[in-house]
Each structure stands twice: as structure tokens, then as C-alpha cells.
Amino acid sequence: MKQIRIGLIGTGYIGRCHAIAYSQVATVFPLKAELVLDYLAEITPELAEQKAKEFGFKRSTGDWRDIVNDPNIDVIDICTPNFLHKEIALAAIANGKHVYSEKPLALTATEAKLMYQAAKKAGVKTLVGFNYIKNPTTQLAREIITNGEIGEVIHFYGTHNEDYLANENTPLDWHCIKEKAGLGALGDLAAHIVQMSQYLLGQEIISVIGDMQTVIQTRPNPNNLQERLAVENEDQATALVRFGNGCMGTIETSRIACGRKMGLSYVITGTKGSIIYTQERMAELKLYLHDENPARQGFKTILTGPLHPDYKNFCVSAGHGIGFNDQKTVEIRDLINGISENSTALYPDFEEGYKVSRILDAIALSCEQKRWVNVEEIE
């Protein structure tokens, strides 16, 4: 059996989730190649060594270039802060590596385009970590829509709201600095719901008009709490959008939405039915079908189970629930199996990551210029 050797760069919040998913994936799913946790990079050799031990990687380094240049590595897994994605990905692609990058793919659509085009030209495979679409519940939603069970989709309302920066005295971190993060809530959170809307509807967003605000304009300097520094990107944003088939949509995002801990949600209205979902109840899909007996109509709460996509490998009983890292496990199953077979494309790949970046940049531009923007206006 072919081996696929992973080089993991970055071990913070999301790097740790990757590690957990790597550890269980071969037990959960049949893999078409042998997964090897080979090489791990962090900002110091010491931290790298410690994390390699913790995450079960064989080798470690304090310089990510060592991994990118290592001929034994097949896949570069990028879990660094956003501003490093481009440089690492381009170096990896130049060396013919497949690249698995966390979202958002880049700080701007321009960067993302470079990355997508480089990968295309090099013929390497790419995957972006939009893990929430791997949840069986959201896969079920897509299946229902694709089947036409709710008719033609006529409206999409989607949010990704959280409250991790709701307190005005939370110190400034890289999320708030343009050259580290690019956009604010749009880049960090809305990237998910924008991509998910395209996944669910099988349609692309083609025009947008948005509005945004930096509500908390200064935050304490983490190195000197008495001083307050400027927040450089938006805390909240909203946008009206149109999909390619004319379907209307609304996107909302915030990182200061008090009480929303995992407020990724969608309400999808079709001509014959509707779907409602929130990631805070990640095992439940609400489905309404208008053609049913009018005296017995209502939203049905479906608990995800073994009859739904990618669930039964975790547990054969319905309603028992899978967790956040299990979504990542499905994603990594797709990565390994997709790379092991030449014919299979990975999804969502850098092209999709670029398309999402373009939409986010279009929203930002529409906010700035206070007008509708065609996504194609963004290069």
C-alpha cells in the first residue's frame, strides 16, 4: 500500500485539531493509502519536538522550509496564521507537494489566485480546510437540496457569528491586524458560510452588496494593557448576494455577537420546502416539506445517523452524535483517499478557496464603495 507522508506546519488551535483527526482517521475510515505522520514544524525546534511527540509525528524542525524541501514529504499541511499561507503554499507547490491549507486560503483574492494558479500549473492536489461541510448533517442538507426535495432554492440566509472578541477589553491579537489576518470577521468566519452556501446550492455567488463596522475600535496592547491600539479590520459585516441562478441570499458575520458560540447557521428556502440548521446543534437538521398534508405540516427535526453520509463509520446508532474533530477526520479521509487516486479531485480545493476570497474581497469593496459589486470585478 502506498504511503502518504504528512508534513504539518503549525500546531496551534487548528493544528491540534488536525493532529487529533490524523490520529483516529485510519481507525474510523478505510484508507486507500497508508498515512504517515512524518514531519512537524513549529517556530522553535524545542516546541516542534514537544509537539511532534504529543501529536505522534516522527520528526520535527524549527524551520518550516525543512519540511517543504524534504523529498520524502507528500503533503504539506498548513496550520499557521493566515499571513503565512501564501509563502508556504507556493514553496510547497514549487517542490511538487500536494497542499492542504487551512482557511482562509490567503489574505486577499490576489494572493489566493496566485496560489490556485501555481497549484494548477504544477498539477498538485490542493484542499482547503472548510471542515464544516464535512459534517454528515450538512452533507444531508446538500443531498436533500440536490435531490430536489425542497424544490428550487429561492433564498439562502447564512451566518457565521461568534463572540470571541465581544469583550472590548480583550487585548488586540493578530486577528485584528490587517497584514496578519487580512479581513476581520469576513475572513475568519464568513469564509465558512460563503463557501458552505456554494456547496449547499451548487451555485456560485456572483454579485454582492455589503455593510460592515469596526464596533470596538481600540483594544488593549497585549504587551501594555494600559495602552489601547487600533483594531484594523471589521468586527461585523452583512451582505446581500445573488447566486449564478438568480437565487437571493443574505450573509451575516460577527466576532462580537454576544452569546453566539458557534453561530454558523443557515435557513434555506425552496419552492417546495425549507431547511434550517445551526452548527450549535450539529446533529440536527430541520426539514419542512410544503406538499405534506396541510394539517400535519411542520419542521421535522432529523437527528443525523447511519443512514446519512459519513456517519456510520463513527457510530452505528442514530442521534449519538459526532464532534468537531470528527468533521476534520472526514476531511482528512478525503485528503488521503483523494491523493491516493489520480482520478479523484479534492473538494474544496484552492480554486474554491480563491473563489471564496474573491467573494469576500467583493463584499469588502462593496462596503467601501457603497454599491453592488460583481464578483468578477475582483481579479
Question: Which positions from 268 through 297 interact with its own copies, judged by CB under 8 A?
Answer: 269-274, 279-284, 287-290, 294-297
Minimum CB–partner distance for residue 342 and its own copies (Å): 25
Q: Does 358 bind its own copies (CB under 8 A)?
A: no
Phi and psi based region of residue 123 (left: phi greater than 0; alpha: psi -120 to 50; beta: remaining): left
Q: Does 148 bind its own copies (CB under 8 A)?
A: no
What are the b/e assignments for 245-279, b being 16+ CB within 10 Å? eebebebbbbbbbeebeebbbbbbbbeebbbbbbb
Minimum CB–partner distance for residue 122 and its own copies (Å): 31
Q: Among residues 84 and 303, whose Cβ is nearest to its own copies?
A: 303
Among 9, 17, 336, 359, binds its own copies (CB under 8 A): 17
Q: Among residues 224 and 301, whose Cβ is nearest to its own copies?
A: 301
Cβ contacts of 29 within 8 Å, gap of 6 or more: 313, 329, 330, 333, 337
Q: Does 121 bind its own copies (CB under 8 A)?
A: no
Q: Among residues 83 and 288, whose Cβ is nearest to its own copies?
A: 288
Q: Among residues 94 and 316, whose Cβ is nearest to its own copies?
A: 316
209 and 239 Cβ atoms separated by less than 8 Å: yes
Site for its own copies in 41-60 (CB under 8 A): 54-56
Neighbours of 290 (CB within 10 A): 13
Q: Does 191 bind its own copies (CB under 8 A)?
A: no
Q: Does 89 bind its own copies (CB under 8 A)?
A: no
Site for its own copies in 193-212 (CB under 8 A): 209-211
**Cα of 118 vs its chain's centroid, Å:** 21
Alpha-carbon distance of 236 to 254, in angstroms, equals 4
Number of residues that bind its own copies (CB under 8 A): 91
Q: Does 347 bind its own copies (CB under 8 A)?
A: no
Among 35, 150, 190, 201, binds its own copies (CB under 8 A): 150
Q: Does 171 bind its own copies (CB under 8 A)?
A: no
Among 69, 110, 117, 213, binds its own copies (CB under 8 A): 213
Show the cell assigned to 258.
454576544
Alpha-carbon distance of 288 to 339, in angstroms, equals 38
Cβ contacts of 302 within 8 Å, gap of 6 or more: 140, 284, 285, 286, 287
